[in-house]
Structure 1
Amino acid sequence: MTDTIEAPRDPHRILTEAWEKGRLGHAILLYGPASSSLENVAFALASQILGVDGVPTKHPDCSVVRPVNKMRQIGVDAMRRLVRTVSHSANQGGRKVGIVLDADRMNLQASNAFLKTLEEPPSDTTLFLLSTRPNDLLDTIRSRCMSFKISGDSVAIEGPEWESWSRDFEEWLSRIEVPPANQKDVAETVMRLYGLVQRFQECLSALSARRLEAAVADFPEDVEDEEKVAIEAGIERGARQDLLAGIEAVLRDWVVSRTAEGNAMADRARKLVLAVEETEGTSGLLALNFNGVAAVEQLMIRVLRIWSRQ
């Protein structure tokens, strides 16, 4: 007799079935690496709950809270407005939905205001919290939510700039793996490093501009200036995270392409792990509003040190 292992079930499907059976909790925490994937699941479920086709955020009984201004914070006033809205009867006599985008951006006052709502949830209301950094939420909030991890699909990076940058990054990796023959080689390697940093910013600007242009059509009609600034900052943040994931992919592909080179593979694999850890650390810094140029420059210098170390 052969044992069979069941594949893990899709969280979206689990939540859909729970809704259909009337067992969906009042507070759902969706977390994972990609904000777009979290939003897709939350909006799809909200549409089912409200019985609408298309974008649920235009429904009068769907309330959305998102970070505002360049600091991308969710303040207590915005949270209190959400609490008041979901505490009232539904406009259309059915259910109500509240969605908190980037919930980890709630400040302490906003978190406490939301916690009170979780402790005494309003009737006929489903609340969704979306976060790429769930550990930044208060433990007391997480413990009162049904939590589901949503895997992020790999995102294609649009535009020719990234293709060119990736090729030059691979060439630079090949260069730094070989000890420099003289001071001229050292200087050229460092100059190429700073050139890659500058061009990374150019890739980021171009990618952000394309995505912003595509997103403008979907901006809420009543979006305020501070919310618009935060949405734009969020788009740039997402583009930067995708580019960092792209760096990881280039590193892995570069190592794998050299698997036939014998004993050097083990050393490359070790260095790859260190470089990926540095990339993930940079991603964490940028999530905390760390200066983007400085963070990428620091990453490239550390990659240089890792790969040039014998």
Structure 2
Amino acid sequence: MKTKFMSVSMSLLIAGFTLCACTEGLGGVGDNPITPETPTTPDEPETPTEIKGILSEISVESEGNNGVLAFTYGDDGKVTKAAYKSVDRFTGDSYEGLSCTFTYETDKITVKAKRDDNVETKVYTLTDGVVTKYADDYGYDEFTYKDGKLIGFKAWEKNEESGEMETDELFDFSWNENVIASYERYELNDQEEKEDVNNYTVTYGTVKAGVLANIFFYGGGVFELPFYVEDLAESAPIFDKLGAMPEYLPEKLVRTWKEEGNDVTRTITAKYTLDSNNLVTKVVVKVVEGENTEETTYNLKWK
């Protein structure tokens, strides 16, 4: 997928509950009994209340990529800013990275992404409340849904020489009821034939995904763990706007492809830690490819 800064408005629905209040009829006793009042009808149950956790921070700890992505929210609960700071593992010194601000309209979300003195504008187009297109100076992405579920993703990139748009990467998703069971990532040659095909199979556990599913299937690493936290700064407002996503978080992702004619397999596993509200507070990701193993820890803070 083309290089681009990405963002993170997210709130996780944990549970709903119904409150019910009722009043009792009154009666009296004596020589002249008081006629009981007509019993009042119990109040209708209130609308179920959504208990939401608002993600305030994601930090990452790895061998070469330590940093913190913090989110600021407005009174309406929408994220207004996402800013990343990298952290030196040895000195603890921090450095300003990508910073994004967001403007919301009915049919689009505009992102102003700033790094150093460079500012870029990115636009997410919404159709019936879900993201159907992303565009920046380098190209655009299109999202395809069926029965409310994301089944396709196509990235177009501007050719620097001709200025024309060319297909960059495509994703086709296969669902098994309420989860994405597998998907395919590939490019197309001039004859519209598939090239550089990558196949993915996904195994899920029992951890409810909520909108966090979008981090693993769209954010940063783009449909592949581990994600690069800084990239999430740009895609902040859309993680609850990608249509139906898997109900559970992935625990294992196996990617296979060919490299110089040889079969290559990369296995990615994720272990989750939850708090008493069932919010994910820690994710430990292990990537194994051949004899190489990498481990990354993500810590999530909620408010």
TM-score normalised by structure 2 residue count? 0.23
Q: Which has the higher strand share?
A: 2
More helix, by proportion: 1
TM-score, reference length from structure 1: 0.22
